[in-house]
Amino acid sequence: MIIAVILAAAGPLAGTLAAAGGARARQAGWAGAAGAGVALGSAVYLLAAQLHHAPLRGWGGFLYVDSLSCFFLLTVAGVTLLAAVGSVAYLSAEEDSGRLSRFQVRLYFIFFGLFASLMLASFETGNLGLLFVLIEASTLASAALVGLEARASSLEAAWKYVIISSFGVTIALAGTLWLFYSASSLHLAPDLRLTWPYLFIHAHALAPQSLRLAFLLAVVGYGTKVGLAPMHTWLPDAHAEAPSPASAMLSAALLNTGMYAIIRFLAITRARLGDGYPRGVLLAFGFASIVIGVLFMVRRGNFKRLFAYSSVEHMGIIAIALGFGGVLGMYGALLQILNHAIAKAVLFLSSGDVALRYQTREAAGVRGLLAAAPVTGAALLLASFAALGAPPFGVFLSELTIVRAGFAAASPVFPLLLLAMLAVAFVAFARTTAAMVTGEALPSPSPYRGRGAGLAAVAPLAVGLAALLVLGLWIPAGLNAVILHSVGFLT
Amino acid sequence: MQTLSAASTAGVLLDLSGVLILLLAFACLGSKLFNRYVAYYGAQSVVLSFAAGVAAFTFHSVELWILAVATLAIKGIGIPVSARRLLVQRLELSRDTALSTGLSTSLIAGGALTAFAYLVTRPQLLPHGVVAAAVVPLSTAVILLGGLAMVVRRHTVAQLIGWLIVENGVFLGAITLVATFPFIVEAGIFLDLVAGVLIMLVFVSGLTRRLASASAAELRELHG
């Protein structure tokens, strides 16, 4: 059990070690992918074990793995595997063409592994202070990925990212401090004071006033990492400037890590203060994010920015689902987290392929992708529809659940508004991606040398799309049980 | 449960340190020279380490002693000295011209934020007798002032200092809870801070080489 816990967090470090030892893009990439595979395997094992056992605890509350942790471990480890395989193709193409130096490539793999490991480890701790430490450390590790290409624009994006996120997370630390204040009347041993399961069990004894402040500060602070509007301003820049597999990690893993922290605070707050207050906070930030995300998606331009604003929109949907609450709302939120993660990983990985082929990130510079690169084009098109919530993909199912939760929980105005925004998002997003894949093909030489790299570029797209399709039609029993179990104690 | 009353010597010293830290945050907000920013931040950290020392002495906590010494060595001496060498001398930055508001406006805004901090952290919010309650609004005010410094200053170095002041504010709030915030967490926060400063300094010097001055006012390429 403990070994699985360690492997689930430390697996991706294989790529870091290989790169630190001087391996080139191909070897370091495959080492990282193997490590991510080990992490995913361990996550699946933990998930299966979790179904029949009580939550795993140890080290004075610093280690705590319950079904919610397992769900997030599975999601992020899965995304890490897809992005790690995509990294092999992307980085070896960049290295072969000389656009990135060997030093930059090594730096990429060192920080990629570190970034993934820190996020995975943050799901395994029950101590909210340590959660802060790990999330802040993952910000720092990923800043190097954003600024990797060292152009003026990528340094600017990295600066914006690191300063805004660090400030935001420090605000979340202040929130953690207030939670700590609110628990000071509890007679818990010092080590357990910040430990989530104990705070959750004793939620009824927390001081309500300081808990309100703690929740608000945590949503603002960790919401900065999630990309909730109006704290989202770093997000489109960082996603657009990072190498594409790193963008996939930011969008599909990092944002979810922030959301995980918010869910932990939400559970305690809901247990003490009831539904009303957290719902108000989450609906306000959620709708702000959807409106901002959709408005900026209307603009046609850099396609990676388009995907980034779609992430802002999706995080808004998830915040709204958490705000609706109830079994349906929480179920929908968790399912949406998984589906969005896979869809966005596929979208960003295919955008990496497009960027390598055409050497542009402007949508106007890309036409006829279906004819020029059928697999990438099809993946881009299908993943766009999946991300927008078209059936039969998983996102359709989770968004339907969320809308139903809205009708069950709050006034019908909210779910109707949500549906209207989703319709606008569909038009805004699809008109850009549809123009990219259709039309006459522009000449685009394959950027990959060797069969291994070509396969590494295509395989994660196919696997991701297949997973999305499966999740739209059938939710595996184990996954369903773990989500229901998490929902059970969250509501 | 260990308590700390406002009337005890330690309580008075902690309050006094809190006030000094707030005043130094104001001093930073009211200055225009880069070496002053760094100097005020260093002085603030020295006072903070003194406050941590007081708490450590009162509660006989070895861990807090370690933190006090680390604060003095890293935040009080290490960061200011290296920042001065790297940024002020090597990059030849002296006057900060990238302010979005005048100094007096930002000081008035700072005063308003301090009043706001006292309004939101009313004593009844806090459980009785457990923490040095007077320090909590002070620490909230320092957090807000650091945020304000980040907003009104557009130069990357000034924003970095603003973030460090926010960090000091949170740390001040944490030591009032003395001996209960787990040591591993405090140490982790410290490590993050050091790593964060290192990474940010790399970006600052990278940006300075790319742009004529590393002012966020010139960071205009990415928008929309």
- The residue among A109, A41, A110 whose CA lies nearest residue A73 is A41
B91: its two tokens? 């990059």
Decide if B125 contacts A175 (C-beta within 8 A).
no
Q: What is the DSSP letter of A188?
A: -
Nearest CA in chain B to A61: B182
* H-assigned helices in B76-177: 79-83, 103-120, 135-152, 156-175
DSSP E strand stretches across A87-242? none
Q: Which of residues 273-302 of A touch B (CB under 8 A)?
A: 296, 299, 301
Q: Does residue A224 carry a pLDDT above 60?
A: yes
Using CB atoms, which residue from B159, B185, B196 is nearest to A130? Answer: B185
- Pick the more confident residue, B29 or A447: B29
Determine the pLDDT at residue B177: 64
- C-alpha distance from residue A86 to each of A10, A196, A278, A452 (Å): 20, 35, 38, 11
Nearest CA in chain B to A164: B163
Decide if B118 contacts B136 (C-beta within 8 A).
no
Exposed/middle/buried for residue A284 (C-beta within 10 Å: 0-12, 13-18, 19+): middle
Q: pTM here?
A: 0.92
* Whether B189 and A167 lie within 8 Å, measured CB to CB: no
Averaged pLDDT for residues A104-133? 92
Q: Count CB atoms within 10 A of the CB of residue A101.
A: 12
Q: Complex ipTM, two decimals?
A: 0.87
* Whether A140 and B210 lie within 8 Å, measured CB to CB: no
Residues of chain B with pLDDT under 50: 1-2
* Whether B221 and A156 lie within 8 Å, measured CB to CB: yes
- C-alpha distance from residue A346 to each of A34, A290, A304, A340 (Å): 19, 21, 12, 10
Nearest CA in chain B to A236: B224
A194 near B CB under 8 A:
yes
- The residue among A464, A472, A390, A396 whose CA lies nearest residue A429 is A390
Characterize B91-125 residue by residue with b for buried, 16 or more Cβ atoms within 10 angstroms of its Cβ, and e for exposed: eebeebebbeeeeeebbebbeebbeebeeebeeeb
* Whether B124 and A305 lie within 8 Å, measured CB to CB: no
Averaged pLDDT for residues A373-400? 89
A390 near B CB under 8 A:
no
Determine the pLDDT at residue B1: 38
Instruction: For residues A463 and A453, give the distance between their C-alpha atoms in angstroms, rounded to a whole number.
Output: 16
Q: Does residue A81 carry a pLDDT above 90?
A: yes
Averaged pLDDT for residues A33-41? 93
A303: its two tokens? 């396609």
Decide if A328 contacts A401 (C-beta within 8 A).
yes
Task: Spell out which residues of chain A touch residue B222, defining contact as CB-CB under 8 Å.
Answer: 153, 156-157, 160, 236-237, 240-241
Q: A87: left (phi > 0), else alpha (psi -120 to 50), else beta?
A: alpha
CA distance to partner chain A, nearest, from residue B165 (Å): 10
Instruction: For residues A457 and A375, give the distance between their C-alpha atoms in angstroms, rounded to a whole number.
Output: 10
Q: Which of residues 1-60 of A touch B (CB under 8 A)?
A: 60
Q: How many CB pairs under 8 A join A and B?
A: 140
Q: Does residue A300 carry a pLDDT above 90?
A: no
Using CB atoms, which residue from B143, B184, B185 is nearest to A174? Answer: B143
Output the CA angle A460-A465-A471, nearest 5 degrees: 125
Instruction: For residues A461 and A458, give the distance between their C-alpha atoms in angstroms, rounded to a whole number.
Output: 5
| Sequence spans of domains, chain B | 9-217
- C-alpha distance from residue A79 to each of A144, A256, A267, B52, B120 (Å): 19, 11, 25, 42, 41
Nearest CA in chain B to A146: B203
Determine the pLDDT at residue B224: 59
Task: Spell out which residues of chain B touch residue A159, defining contact as CB-CB under 8 Å.
Answer: 156, 200, 203-204, 207, 216, 219
Q: Across the strands, what pairs with A285?
A: none
Averaged pLDDT for residues A182-190? 71
Q: What is the DSSP letter of A206?
A: S
* Whether B126 and A210 lie within 8 Å, measured CB to CB: yes
Characterize A106-127 residue by residue with b for buried, 16 or more Cβ atoms within 10 angstroms of its Cβ, and e for exposed: bbbbbbbbbbbbbbbbbbbbbb
Instruction: For residues A72 and A479, give the distance between their C-alpha atoms in angstroms, rounded to a whole number.
Output: 11
Averaged pLDDT for residues A303-316? 93
Determine the pLDDT at residue A486: 87
One DSSP character per residue, A92-116 reads HHHHHHTSS-HHHHHHHHHHHHHHH
Q: Does residue A266 carry a pLDDT above 80?
A: yes
Provide the terminal-to-terminal Cα distance of chain A, rounded to the nearest Å.
28
Q: A151: left (phi > 0), else alpha (psi -120 to 50), else beta?
A: beta
| Sequence spans of domains, chain A | 2-490
Looking at every residue in chain A, the average pLDDT score rounds to 89
A153 near B CB under 8 A:
yes
Averaged pLDDT for residues A34-40? 93
Q: A120-150: per-residue pLDDT in tens?
A: 999 999 889 899 999 999 999 999 999 888 8
Task: Spell out which residues of chain A touch residue B194, defining contact as CB-CB under 8 Å.
Answer: none
Determine the pLDDT at residue B19: 92
